[in-house]
Every structure is written in structure tokens, then in C-alpha cells.
Structure 1
Amino acid sequence: MKTIKTPIYDRLLDISSKNTIYFQLPGHHKRTNQFLDFNILPSFDTTETFGTDNLHEPEEIIFESMREVSRVYGSKESIYLVNGSTSGIHIAMMSVTKPGDSVLIQRNSHVSAYNGSILGRLNVEYIMPEYDSSIQLVGGIDVHKFKELIQNNRSIKACVLLHPSFYGVCSDLCEIIDIAHKNGVIVIVDEAHGPHLSFSDRLPKSAIELGADMVIHSAHKTLPSLTQTAVLHICSDRVNIDRVRSVSRLLQTTSPSYIFMTSIEKAVAYMDSFKGREDLDTLIGNINRFNESISKIDRIKLLGNKSESLFYDRDITKIHFEIEGIRGTDLIDILHRDYNINMEYADFRYVIGVTSVMNTEDDFKYLEDALGEIASNNTYDETEDLDMKLIEPKQIIPIYEAFNSENKTVKLVESVGSVSASYIIPYPPGIPQLAPGELITDEHVEIVEKYKDKGISIVGLNKDMIDIVGV
């Protein structure tokens, strides 16, 4: 009898055997065993039985654990998410709206916010982030534009905002939340990349402290927790907690992983300890020294910590650099292939690393030496700038109607004037240029063709074909 192949196991075993340095998700960087013994995890793989409580009706250990996490972060209540922060976005959006309501979404939000609108059958308005073509960076949102949009559309019930963005960009969230609340709008903040912010006053303040109504944390992104672990924080009386619990039971698995819940609990306990806070302070010091050192290397450029036109503040634990004459997408490959350094992300210009308390001073020194070697040894090529601006969307029908419509597939070049039934998302930067229900224009086709010529992957295209709403 032939034994089946195990390609996932085999590949992961091979990867885990390499001495790789990670500036990449998940936040434990494969060093979590410093405080969570992986050897005991199989014995923790249980279900709802005697003494283990129930995530969907917590009364004992899970209730107590989530209450402790809520206390640490200063929320009214916190709920463990074992389906990732994606489920938290969906739960939050569907808890404070009804089908047909309108929501405002920051256009560079994670696709889960768009999908939450489909699941909740919500009408969507978008607030466009600022963009600087000279440095090809999508920034935060302008306070005055936000205020104008909110005041001109009184039907908006809730807004979904980013803090910080994938690039570490922070808007003036305190002022934005104040405007939203004065206009009766509930504020949901996707703080997936910011669960560490609460543990240092050297970083931007958490949306919880700034007054958001609901905040979603991806524990696995910047805390030493396992992939798919997240937390939903309810932070104000504007939110019906019983409704949130009901929607959570609707959208989360009925077989929650106790390993995941343990991982969240231990990661937060560690970060809240003197050791965790001290390690975070050490990390920030290492990052500052790293930035100072590589900024002195010829051809290497850093993104500044402040830019009045683009962002109010920035989370420096996202390290962000470029080498003149080398595409970011090429540089990330060189680091992986030649130096066994895994960075999180690269676009046409920049490479981004996600750091955590698991990164050591030696990690930064090794990365610095690698970058110096690459900058001095690799040929300088004239690289053409690629404009990564977002196209202002024109919605023709609601996103949920387009998603559920009868559709047909046509060539991209023949789709102009049609209504998209799918997403068009360039990776990088991973922000939708087009969402279901929006008009396809010549500008969309032009920019997609330009991305493809530069080797950028386009999610939503299948061999140059796109799904459009059927006619």
C-alpha cells in the first residue's frame, strides 16, 4: 500500500532546520519556547470538557484569562479570537450595524474590512489615505477630510480605521475619534499590527487609550504568540457587549484551540511583566542604533520617523529601508537567498521588517552587516520609480450585491466601463485598487498593466481575465 506524501510537513521540517534570522511574522520568530514550552503543547490540545471552560460561554478559566487581558489593556471586556483578527473585524462590524447600514472604511484597510461589508450587507464609503509620490508611500488619513466626509454623510453608523498601518503609519487618531463620536459614529480600529504599543511610552499610544470603541489585535503579529491568535477589545458603552458575544458565537469556530488561547494568555502575561517591558525597551534601543548605523552606509536610505504631510506618528518597530539602485523586491530575495534573513515584505522600493521582543542585538548586527555588504558589492542599476497611488473608487452597486451577482469573465483590456465582481489587489503593496461593485476605468487597466510589467503579482486576475458583473 502506497503511503501518502507529506509535503507540508517535509517543507516545514526543512525550513525549521535552517539557522534563519526573522524580521517577519509571527512575532515569536520561532523563539517562543523561552517562556512557552512547545513540548507540553500536545497535552494542551483539548476541547470543552471537565474543568476547561467554554469560549462561547466562559465562566471559569477562560473567563478569568480574558478578564486579565482586559485589565492589562484597559478595555471593558476582551474576547479571544481563534480565527485570527479577520474574524475580529467581521465580529466588530456586524455587532454595531444592521444590513443596509453605511460604514466608512479607510481605503488601505485589510481586505477583511471589505469582506465584513459583504458578510454584513453594508453600504461602504471610503476615506482615502494621503500619498506622497516622491517617496512612494501611502500615509495616514487627513483629519479635515475625515471630518468633512463624516459631516456630509449622516447615514454612516461606524468607521473602520487602521492604527498603525502595515508600514507603521499612524494618523491623528485621537482627533479623528473625537470627530467621529461627536457625529454619532462608532469607531472600530484595526490595530492588528499594534498589540505591543500598550507596553511602552516610547511608541505611539494604543487606540484603546485614545478612545476607540472596539479594537482588534493580532497577537501573533508583534507579540510572541502563535499564528492565528488575536483579541477583540470592547472599549466603550457605545457597544452592546451581549451583541458582540452573540456575533462572536456566530462567526468563531465551535472547537476553539486551547493551545491558541494559552498562547495569547502567556504572550500578554510576558509583555506585561517587568521582563517583557524591559525587553521591549531593549528592542527599541536596538532599532534606534540599527537605524543610525545603516543610515551612514552609502546608498541606504531610511524613512523618516515624522512627515507632516503623510503621518502624525510612526511605529518604529517596523524597520523600513531601501538601497538605491536595487528594487525592494530584489533586495528581499537577496537577503533570504544569500544571508538567510527573512524580512516581512517588500514593494518596488522598500523592504520592511516586523521586529519583536524576540529579536536580539545580534540579529540587527547581522542584518546591518548584510546590508552594508549588499550596498557595496551589488551593481547600481537605474530603477524606474513606480507610482503606487490608490485610484479614487467609483461605486456603481453595493459591494455585497456585486460579490453575490451573476458574473462573467472577460479580458482585462475589454473590461473598461464594466462593474467589477472581484478584487484587484497588487502584491505589493496589498491594498485593493478595485473592489466588487466599482467601475473599471482606463486608469485601472493602465496601472495594472504597469504593475504586471514590473513583476508585481495581481490578486484577482486569472491569466489577464477579470470577473465582471454580468449583463
Structure 2
Amino acid sequence: MTTAKSFSARVDQQRRKNIKKAQAEAEAGPARAEPDATPIGDAIQAFHRRGDIAFGIPAHRSGTGRMPPLAARWMGSEAFRADVTMNKGVDNRHQSWQVEPTAMQLFAQAVGADETLFSANGSTENVHVAMMAAVRPGETLVMARNGHKSAFSALVLSGAMPVYVEPDYDERWQIAHGVDPDRLERVLQEHPEAVAAMVFTPTYYGISADVRRLAEVAHGHDIPLITDDAWGLDYSFCSRLPPSALECGADLCIGSVHKSLNGLQQTSVLSKQGNRIDSTRLSLVFELEQSTSASTLLLSSIDAARREFQENGERLLGDAIDVALRIRSAIAQLPGLDLIGDEILGSAGAFAFDPTHVTIDVVGLGLTGFQAADWLREHRGIHVELSDHRRVMALITYADTDATAQRLIDAMAALAEEHAGAKPRPVDDVPSWSQLRTETVVLPRDAFLGATEILPWRQAAGRVSAEMICPYPPGIPVVAPGELLTDTIVDYLQCQAAQGVMVEGAADESLAEFRVVAS
């Protein structure tokens, strides 16, 4: 007869066996600093094998309790099982909190960094951390003006005073490339008080600046170079792609794991090398920004992505390049379409090219990129990564196959056939990069957080913007907090709004009104 006492004894005996087994596995598993280890994922599996019960968060008990039926149906139970609190299950005091640090150490070794930090809050968080680690309130940061909106948010959070360095602008394609090192040198000579430089490379269109020379210029002034290379993390894992920013000497690099590897959305890494960035300050700022409930589901996907691409990246990314080249070859034969290719190179701002960013100009079909993207989605079920006033961009990854490539080729062929004979759409009505430039007259932090007023758009020119107005994608603000609004900027933004462009950062996303610094 089974009594409560005997049942409890059997449970305790089995638990002791499970713990002993798990401890033996842990010695060779979770905190093992070998390239084929996945410390976070291994620790999650060990947690479940031990049969532990965590009387804490998450409330669903890491998949052992009732899960939301709809979410369980959409995601499966394994997603919930991987949702284990890092400091109450995955890591413990006896392992000296080594699971996540070991995973980050392995990532740093894989990309050639001295240290790497994992973020479950996306590259936006890492951009914030990088800027606040390098620049104190009121100090000068030389920053490329073609930055992602997260960098302009970081200016508000950090209290830094930006001195913008303009990127190379391609008049033919009407896009900004990277920063010319000679231009960075001139700006740094004009602003010897600058404490750091920040650039954004590769661009959304897959075009990289000469990062090696940019690093040399920054280091010649004894300041660090920060690179937001969110689109270039895969460069560390394939010799057929451009060299990584770390390889080129950048001091602090932000990379999006979900953009080019196979981490889940919101996964990002911040990698540091050298001693130009203080490690203690970096760590403290990171803790300031980091969630106290960072998702182990997301963090473990960074861990697994590193192992996958460290072992197989050359092949996986090489296959993606081959698929992209096949797509490019086929689309190049279609009437009315034009492709951005490596012929765009030739300046220090357009130094290297990533062919997996397949950017297709559609003005020859009489279309805007927005119209082409809508047609592809509605008629062919094809969603592109980016659309703008004249082109669409399809991002090709390791996940693409000949079958997905053919669907894209067929869809573009159908688009070309549907609009054959159309009169090419003029594009000279779009202001050039230089026409949209203005001056910073107020510290971004003061403009954004200080007293403001709302004005009708017709009265906004001549006032100082208190908001970041950012057509998305690509997510580069047309005007940032602290910048002077001009007639050209206001008119251009009205045209963008009229075309149905998605606008982020503005208090009134219809742009009927503007938020400006109070007079």
C-alpha cells in the first residue's frame, strides 16, 4: 500500500538521482566554454531534466502549467518550456552565474571581440548602451547623419551634442552610402572636443563604407569608433561577404542576430574590442538599460545562432549568396527593372557590397516602390523588406531556396508584364540629400524633453523640431530633435505623408501638425 510518506520518499529518491545526473551533465554542459556548446540552451534542458519547480516567475511555470490555448497552438509548448528565469533555474550560485557569461564569451571568440553582450531588446537597446557608454552628457559625438532612429533616441537619452558628418550621396540612385574617411577627418579636425565617432554601415541597401580607414581616422584622434552594423553581423561568418567592422578595427559594434543569422526577433549583440571604451562603464550602462526579465527564449536563440554559424556559416551564407546571384541574373533580364549591384562601388563611402540585399528600381514601370510593394503583396503574396519612392528591396538569407527564389522571380516578371509600356516615372521631384540638411541649434535632449508647442504644418518652417520625424523604412529621420525645420523639409514630409508613407516618431503621424520647441 502506497502511503503519503512512502510516495514522498520515492519522489525524493528520484529527485536525488535526477540532481546527480544533472550535475554530472552540467560539468560538461551549460558552462562549458567550447565552440560546440550552447550554454544557455543546455542549461534550460538540464533544468527540465532535473524536474525542478520554480516558485517564482514566469507564472506559467516554464510550460508545466496551463498555457494560453491560442498561444500554445500558435507557438507550441516548447516555446513556453524555454521560458525559464535566468537567475531562478538556468543559472545558480554554485555555477557563479556563468551560463550567460560563458555564452557571451563564446560569441565574442566567434566574432573576434574581447567581449560581447546579449540583448533581448533589439539593436535599439544596444545603440543606446553604446552611445551612453562612450559619451557623457554635454560631450560631443561626431555621428553620421544617415543613422537609424535608435541613434537619435540615444542622443536624447545620453544628452550628447551631435556634430553630424554627412554620408556620400549617390545622385543617380538617390540614396546615402557610408561616410568618406576624409570627410570624417575634416570634421574631427574642426571639432577636437569630440570624444567618439559613430557610423552606420552597411546601409539598408547592403553598401559598406571603408571601415578600416574610418577606424584609423578615429584612432588617430584617440577616440573610439562605434559602428551600428546591424545588417552586417553575418560578415564575421563568411569570407565571401565584406569584412566585419570588428575585423576592420571598430571599437564597439552593434549587430542584429535576427537580421542575418537565425536568432529570434529582438535579438542583438554588442561587441567590444580594445580599451578605448571603459568596460566597467559599458557594463553598468548595459545593466541600466537591460530588462530584469530578459527572455531566455530569445537569449538561447542567440547562443544557438552563434554555434550554427560558427560551424556552418561559410556554407549557409555562401548558399544565400548563390541564391541572390541567381535572382539578380533573372531580374536583370526583365524590362523596366534595374538593379543596384557592385557597379555602385567606387567611393570610400561605397566601398563594399553585399549581394544578398537585392534592391530593384521600378521607376521604369511607372511605379513608386510603395506601389510595387503593394502589388507584390496583394497579387503574389510576396512581402519585401523595404520600399521607398523608387525601389523595393528583397533580403535573401540562408533560409531561401531555389523555390523561394523562383517565386520572387516570377512575381517580379508578373509585375513587369502587368506594367509593360508604362511611361517611366520621374524622380527629379525628390529633394537631394543636401537639400534636406539643416542645422542643429538646440541639444537634442533639451529639445525633446523641454517645453514644446504644437503648430499646423504650414507654420512649422523656421521653428526648432522637438520630435523625430522618420519615414519607415529605412528608419532614417528626415528631421531630428533640435534641428531647424526648413520649407524644403516640411514640404518633403507633406509629400511623403500624401503618398501613404509610414511615419514614426512624430506626435501626429499624419503630419498635419508639428511638435516644436516652445518660443
TM-score normalised according to structure 2 size: 0.80
Match of 2:323 in 1: 286
Once residues 174 and 119 of structure 2 are traced to their aligned partners in structure 1, the CA distance between those partners, rounded to angstroms, is 34
Structure 1 counterpart of 2:369, which letter? G
* Partner SS for 1:237: coil
Match of 2:299 in 1: 261
User: Which one is further off, 439-448 or 142-151?
Assistant: 439-448
The alignment status of 1:468 with 2:508, answered yes or no, reads no
Once residues 469 and 411 of structure 1 are traced to their aligned partners in structure 2, the CA distance between those partners, rounded to angstroms, is 14
Tell me the CA shift for residue 455 of structure 1. Answer: 3.4
The within-5 A match list for 1:96-115 is 96-115=134-153
The alignment status of 1:321 with 2:360, answered yes or no, reads yes
* Partner SS for 1:365: helix
Distance 1:203 1:339, change over 3 A: same
The answer (yes or no) to whether the contact 2:438–2:485 under 8 Å persists in 1 is: no
Structure 2 counterpart of 1:364, which letter? A
Match of 1:440 in 2: 485
The alignment status of 1:375 with 2:416, answered yes or no, reads yes
Once residues 398 and 80 of structure 1 are traced to their aligned partners in structure 2, the CA distance between those partners, rounded to angstroms, is 30
User: Which one is further off, 87-96 or 308-317?
Assistant: 308-317
The alignment status of 1:123 with 2:164, answered yes or no, reads no
Tell me the CA shift for residue 39 of structure 1. Answer: 4.8
Match of 2:230 in 1: 192
Once residues 170 and 87 of structure 2 are traced to their aligned partners in structure 1, the CA distance between those partners, rounded to angstroms, is 55
Match of 1:137 among 140, 157, 175: 175
Once residues 267 and 91 of structure 2 are traced to their aligned partners in structure 1, the CA distance between those partners, rounded to angstroms, is 18
The alignment status of 1:215 with 2:253, answered yes or no, reads yes
Q: In the TM superposition, what whole-angstrom CA distance separates every residue of 1:43-62 from its partner, at most 9, and x where no partner exists?
A: 1111134552289x973211
Structure 1 counterpart of 2:397, which letter? S
Distance 1:59 1:427, change over 3 A: closer
The answer (yes or no) to whether the contact 1:133–1:387 under 8 Å persists in 2 is: no
The answer (yes or no) to whether the contact 2:327–2:405 under 8 Å persists in 1 is: yes
Tell me the CA shift for residue 12 of structure 1. Answer: 9.9
Structure 2 counterpart of 1:420, which letter? S
Match of 1:176 in 2: 214
Match of 2:426 in 1: 384
Match of 1:161 in 2: 199
The answer (yes or no) to whether the contact 1:336–1:342 under 8 Å persists in 2 is: yes
Once residues 423 and 230 of structure 1 are traced to their aligned partners in structure 2, the CA distance between those partners, rounded to angstroms, is 23
Match of 2:243 in 1: 205
- CA radius of gyration, larger in: 2
Structure 2 counterpart of 1:70, which letter? A
Match of 1:6 in 2: none
The within-5 A match list for 1:66-77 is 66-77=104-115
Tell me the CA shift for residue 13 of structure 1. Answer: 11
The answer (yes or no) to whether the contact 2:188–2:221 under 8 Å persists in 1 is: yes
Once residues 282 and 195 of structure 1 are traced to their aligned partners in structure 2, the CA distance between those partners, rounded to angstroms, is 17
Tell me the CA shift for residue 151 of structure 1. Answer: 1.2
The alignment status of 1:421 with 2:466, answered yes or no, reads yes
Tell me the CA shift for residue 373 of structure 1. Answer: 1.9
Tell me the CA shift for residue 38 of structure 1. Answer: 6.3
Match of 1:64 in 2: 102
Tell me the CA shift for residue 428 of structure 1. Answer: 4.8
User: Which one is further off, 444-453 or 333-342?
Assistant: 444-453
* Partner SS for 1:194: helix
Once residues 474 and 116 of structure 2 are traced to their aligned partners in structure 1, the CA distance between those partners, rounded to angstroms, is 31
Once residues 387 and 92 of structure 2 are traced to their aligned partners in structure 1, the CA distance between those partners, rounded to angstroms, is 41
Unaligned runs of 5+ in 1: 1-8, 17-36
Q: In the TM superposition, what whole-angstrom CA distance separates every residue of 1:107-135 from its partner, at most 9, and x where no partner exists?
A: 11111111111111111111111222322
Once residues 164 and 89 of structure 2 are traced to their aligned partners in structure 1, the CA distance between those partners, rounded to angstroms, is 46
Match of 2:390 in 1: 349
* Partner SS for 2:389: coil
Once residues 459 and 89 of structure 2 are traced to their aligned partners in structure 1, the CA distance between those partners, rounded to angstroms, is 61
Identity of aligned residues (%): 28
Match of 1:26 in 2: none
Structure 2 counterpart of 1:233, which letter? S
Match of 2:451 in 1: 406
* Partner SS for 2:172: coil
Tell me the CA shift for residue 41 of structure 1. Answer: 2.4
Say which structure is richer in helix. Answer: 2
Match of 1:455 in 2: 500
* Partner SS for 1:85: helix
Once residues 253 and 480 of structure 2 are traced to their aligned partners in structure 1, the CA distance between those partners, rounded to angstroms, is 24
The within-5 A match list for 1:43-62 is 43-53=81-91, 59-62=97-100
Unaligned runs of 5+ in 2: 1-67
Tell me the CA shift for residue 365 of structure 1. Answer: 1.4
Once residues 101 and 395 of structure 1 are traced to their aligned partners in structure 2, the CA distance between those partners, rounded to angstroms, is 15
* Partner SS for 2:241: coil
Once residues 39 and 352 of structure 1 are traced to their aligned partners in structure 2, the CA distance between those partners, rounded to angstroms, is 35
The answer (yes or no) to whether the contact 1:170–1:314 under 8 Å persists in 2 is: yes
The answer (yes or no) to whether the contact 1:106–1:162 under 8 Å persists in 2 is: yes
Match of 1:300 in 2: 337
Q: In the TM superposition, what whole-angstrom CA distance separates every residue of 1:378-430 from its partner, at most 9, and x where no partner exists?
A: 25244231425332221111111101111110011112221111112233543
The answer (yes or no) to whether the contact 2:438–2:486 under 8 Å persists in 1 is: no
Q: In the TM superposition, what whole-angstrom CA distance separates every residue of 1:438-457 from its partner, at most 9, and x where no partner exists?
A: 11112222222333343334
Q: In the TM superposition, what whole-angstrom CA distance separates every residue of 1:143-193 from its partner, at most 9, and x where no partner exists?
A: 221110011101111111112111111111110110000001211110111
Tell me the CA shift for residue 82 of structure 1. Answer: 1.2
